[in-house]
């Protein structure tokens, strides 16, 4: 038993020693070295613009089925670089890190009534191409931070949707029709849907409407970022 109690301390010391021997490089600014296992340096984190923790659902172009929408930061240059790396350069650990940061940013009582979190699922074709689901990593980090379970098999994406970047509102809605399937009972459940960036809300709204039709009680959209100025849709969430 004595040995078991010492192991965590040895692990911590070992990690610190490894960090000293092999300094990390920030995956956002890619400048300098810092002695931490975090993928993003403190400078870049401090340049991220935190948003007030308030319901942003009325800011969404499409919000059917969504009761509350929370985002941690403005989708500025630092987060744009981090999330681009997360989605397209296979640096999935950034997602877990951003999820934990998001959990620290959110007041826990704002999502305390949720029964569980679900990441926006990828279609199998997209998952095969990318190799991982960025929303899953974010949800795992967030779930650990706020002590909420993550259900990855509750919803499945059954329609391979095209990128929403160039679509108008009506086209986005048609694009997302019948895109998701529910695999488990969600009656009277309060559910948080997790993704990286919230722009128009069409993807999460499609999921939320499906969940509400199946008996879910409250749906909360939770994302790392949202662009404060939605003059265009140069970034589309979860294609």
In sequence order, the β-bridge partners of residue 119 are 194
Q: Do 96 and 129 fall into the same domain?
A: yes
Q: Do 136 and 87 fall into the same domain?
A: yes
Give percent of the chain above pLDDT 90: 45
DSSP 162: P
Are 79 and 73 spatial neighbours (Cβ–Cβ below 8 Å)?
yes
| Confidence at residue 84, expressed as pLDDT on a 0 to 100 scale | 83
Residue 238 lies in a domain: no
pLDDT digits (tens, 9 = 90+) for 178-235: 678 899 999 999 999 999 999 888 899 999 999 999 999 999 999 999 998 754 444 4
Assign residue 160 the CATH number of its domain.
Answer: 3.40.50
Are 223 and 70 spatial neighbours (Cβ–Cβ below 8 Å)?
yes
DSSP 179: -
**Structure tokens of 13?**
């010391």
Alpha carbon distance 95, 188 (integer Å): 29
Residue 11 lies in a domain: no
Q: Do 113 and 21 fall into the same domain?
A: no
Residue 8 lies in a domain: no
Write down which residue in 25, 47, 69 finishes a domain. 47
pLDDT digits (tens, 9 = 90+) for 36-52: 778 888 888 999 999 99
Q: Do 35 and 55 fall into the same domain?
A: no
Neighbours of 120 (CB within 10 A): 25
Alpha carbon distance 110, 193 (integer Å): 14
Burial of 183 (0-12, 13-18, 19+ CB in 10 A): exposed
Neighbours of 115 (CB within 10 A): 16
What total number of domains does the chain contain? 2
Alpha carbon distance 239, 236 (integer Å): 7
Three-state secondary structure of 222-233: EEEEECCCCCCC
Residue 105 lies in a domain: yes
Domain of residue 193: give its range.
Answer: 50-226
pLDDT digits (tens, 9 = 90+) for 5-40: 344 454 444 454 444 445 577 888 877 666 677 888
In sequence order, the β-bridge partners of residue 181 are 156
Burial of 143 (0-12, 13-18, 19+ CB in 10 A): buried
Q: Do 30 and 57 fall into the same domain?
A: no
């Amino acid at each position: 038993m004595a040995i078991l109690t010492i192991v965590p301390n040895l692990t911590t010391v070992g990690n610190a020693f490894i960090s000293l021997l092999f300094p990390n490089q920030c995956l956002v600014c890619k400048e300098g070295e810092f002695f931490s296992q975090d993928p993003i340096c403190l400078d870049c984190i401090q340049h991220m613009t935190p948003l007030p923790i308030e319901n942003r659902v009325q800011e969404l172009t499409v919000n059917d089925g969504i009761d509350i929408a929370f985002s941690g930061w403005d989708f500025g240059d630092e987060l744009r670089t981090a999330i681009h790396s997360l989605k397209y350069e296979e640096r999935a650990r950034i997602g877990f890190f951003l999820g934990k940061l998001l959990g620290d940013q959110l007041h826990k009582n704002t999502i305390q009534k949720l029964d569980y979190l679900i990441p926006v699922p990828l279609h199998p074709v997209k998952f095969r191409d990318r190799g991982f689901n960025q929303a899953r990593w974010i949800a795992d980090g967030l779930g650990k931070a706020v002590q909420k379970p993550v259900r990855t098999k509750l919803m499945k994406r059954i329609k391979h949707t095209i990128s929403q970047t160039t679509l108008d509102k009506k086209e986005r809605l048609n694009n997302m029709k019948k895109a998701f399937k529910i695999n488990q009972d969600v009656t009277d459940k309060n559910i948080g849907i997790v993704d990286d960036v919230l722009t128009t809300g069409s993807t999460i709204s499609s999921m939320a409407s499906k969940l509400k039709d199946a008996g879910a009680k409250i749906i909360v959209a939770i994302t790392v970022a949202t662009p404060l100025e939605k003059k265009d849709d140069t970034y589309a969430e979860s294609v």
